Chain A
Amino acid sequence: MSKIEMKGLSVYYGNGTVHALKDVNMKIEANKITALIGPSGCGKTTFLRALNRMNELIRVRTEGEVLIDGIDIYSKKVDVIQLRKKVGMVFQQPNPFPMSIYDNVAYGPRIHGVRNRELDGIVEESLKKAALWDEVKDRLEENAFGFSGGQQQRLCIARALAVNPEIILFDEPCSSLDPISTARIEELLSKLKREYTIVIVTHNMQQAARISDFTAFFLMGELIECGKTPQIFERPRDKRTEDYITGRFG
Chain B
Amino acid sequence: MNIKEKIVKGGLFVSALISVVVLLIVIGYIVVNGIGVISLDFLLKSPYRFEYGGVFPQIIGSLFLVALCLLFAVPLGVASAIYLAEYAPDNVITSCIRLFVECLAGIPSIVIGLFGLVFLVYYLGFGVSMLSGGLALGFMILPWTVRASEEAIKAVPRSYREASLALGASKWQTIRSVVLKSAYPGIITGILLGIGKAIGETAVVLLTAGSGLESFLPRSILDPVASLPVYVYMLATQGQTSAAYSRAFGASILLITMFLVMSISALFLRNRYIKRMSGGRW
Point out residues on A near B: beta carbons under 8 Å: 52, 54, 57, 81-85, 88-89, 91, 93, 95-100, 103, 107-108, 110-112, 141-143, 145-146, 156, 159-160, 163
A52 near B166 with CB under 8 A, answer yes
User: Is B160's beta carbon under 8 Å from chain A?
Assistant: yes
Point out residues on B near A: beta carbons under 8 Å: 157, 159-160, 162-170, 173, 177-178, 181-182, 276-282
B162 near A100 with CB under 8 A, answer no
B160 near A97 with CB under 8 A, answer yes
B278: A residues at CB distance < 8 A: 98, 143, 145
**For the complex, what is the distance from the CA of A238 to the CA of B164, rounded to whole Å?**
39
Given A57-B162, A143-B282, A145-B278, answer yes or no on A163-B168 (Cβ-Cβ < 8 Å): yes
Chain A min CB distance to B156 (Å): 9
Can you pick out 29 interface pairs between chain A and chain B where the beta carbons lie within 8 Å of each other? A52-B166, A54-B165, A81-B168, A81-B170, A84-B165, A84-B167, A85-B168, A88-B166, A88-B167, A91-B163, A93-B159, A95-B157, A97-B160, A98-B181, A98-B277, A107-B167, A107-B177, A111-B167, A111-B168, A111-B170, A112-B168, A141-B282, A142-B281, A145-B279, A146-B280, A156-B163, A159-B167, A160-B166, A163-B167
Known: A84-B166, A84-B168; 4 extra A-B contacts, CB below 8 A, are: A54-B162, A54-B166, A97-B164, A107-B177
A85: B residues at CB distance < 8 A: 167-168
B168: A residues at CB distance < 8 A: 81-85, 108, 111-112, 163
**For the complex, what is the distance from the CA of A111 to the CA of B178, rounded to whole Å?**
11
A103: B residues at CB distance < 8 A: 282
B281 near A91 with CB under 8 A, answer no
A81: B residues at CB distance < 8 A: 168-170
A98 near B170 with CB under 8 A, answer no
B157: A residues at CB distance < 8 A: 95
B164: A residues at CB distance < 8 A: 97, 107, 111
- Which of A83, A84, A143 interacts with B281 by CB under 8 Å? A143
A91 near B279 with CB under 8 A, answer no
List the 8 closest pairs (A to B, CB-CB), nearest first. A95-B159, A100-B282, A84-B168, A85-B168, A146-B279, A89-B166, A108-B167, A98-B277
Given A82-B168, A84-B167, A111-B177, answer yes or no on A95-B281 (Cβ-Cβ < 8 Å): no
**For the complex, what is the distance from the CA of A89 to the CA of B169, rounded to whole Å?**
13
**For the complex, what is the distance from the CA of A143 to the CA of B168, rounded to whole Å?**
23
A141 near B167 with CB under 8 A, answer no
Residue of B nearest to A147 (CB): B279
B167 near A142 with CB under 8 A, answer no
Residue of A nearest to B280 (CB): A143
**For the complex, what is the distance from the CA of A99 to the CA of B167, rounded to whole Å?**
16
B178 near A97 with CB under 8 A, answer yes
Residue of B nearest to A87 (CB): B166
Chain A min CB distance to B258 (Å): 32
**For the complex, what is the distance from the CA of A103 to the CA of B170, rounded to whole Å?**
18
Residue of A nearest to B279 (CB): A146
A57 near B167 with CB under 8 A, answer no
User: Among B159, B166, B170, B276, which residue has the most Cβ atoms of chain A within 10 A?
Assistant: B166
Chain B min CB distance to A83 (Å): 8
A141: B residues at CB distance < 8 A: 281-282
B177: A residues at CB distance < 8 A: 107, 110-111
Chain A min CB distance to B42 (Å): 46
Chain A min CB distance to B23 (Å): 37
A111: B residues at CB distance < 8 A: 164, 167-170, 173, 177
**For the complex, what is the distance from the CA of A82 to the CA of B276, rounded to whole Å?**
33
**For the complex, what is the distance from the CA of A145 to the CA of B281, rounded to whole Å?**
10
B166: A residues at CB distance < 8 A: 52, 54, 84, 88-89, 91, 160
A143 near B170 with CB under 8 A, answer no
B281: A residues at CB distance < 8 A: 141-143
Residue of B nearest to A146 (CB): B279
Chain A min CB distance to B220 (Å): 42
**For the complex, what is the distance from the CA of A54 to the CA of B181, rounded to whole Å?**
23
B159: A residues at CB distance < 8 A: 91, 93, 95
**For the complex, what is the distance from the CA of A84 to the CA of B173, rounded to whole Å?**
14
B182 near A95 with CB under 8 A, answer no
B282 near A142 with CB under 8 A, answer yes
A91 near B162 with CB under 8 A, answer yes
Chain A min CB distance to B179 (Å): 10
Chain A min CB distance to B282 (Å): 4
Chain A min CB distance to B87 (Å): 14
**For the complex, what is the distance from the CA of A201 to the CA of B276, rounded to whole Å?**
34
Residue of A nearest to B156 (CB): A98
**For the complex, what is the distance from the CA of A96 to the CA of B162, rounded to whole Å?**
11
**For the complex, what is the distance from the CA of A51 to the CA of B169, rounded to whole Å?**
16
